[in-house]
Amino acid sequence: MNGFDEDYIRAGVGEDIDIEWRLIRKGIRLQSVKHRAIVYHLHHKAHYSMDETGPNYAMLKAKQQKDHAYCVNGLDKYL
């Protein structure tokens, strides 16, 4: 899997969804922790506009079309 794909440099779309679809692509069954785990989220004003999510969305769609579950820009570069 090579971890999170660091090609995503903007917030909003892609950075979390990307690893989810790659895990599912490799046959990993995901389960929700809703009502089973304590999760804290700091609510803050979004520091990006919805227009800025366009490049991430396009990148996610392009990566999904290539159908590669292994990301090139991930953990390996730190080894």
**Cβ neighbourhood burial of 33 (10 Å; 0-12, 13-18, 19+):** exposed
Query: What does the pLDDT read at residue 34?
Result: 86
Q: What is the pLDDT of residue 3?
A: 92
**pLDDT (0 to 100) of residue 65:** 94
Name the token pair of 62. Answer: 């392009």
Full-model pTM = 0.75
Residues 32-73: pLDDT tens digits? 888 898 888 777 676 677 777 888 889 999 999 999 889 999
How confident is the model over 18-28, as pLDDT tens digits? 999 999 999 99
* Coil/strand/helix, residue 59: helix
Q: What average pLDDT score do residues 1-8 get? A: 92
**Residue ranges of the alpha helices (H) in 1-79?**
17-25, 54-66
d(CA 25, CA 16): 15
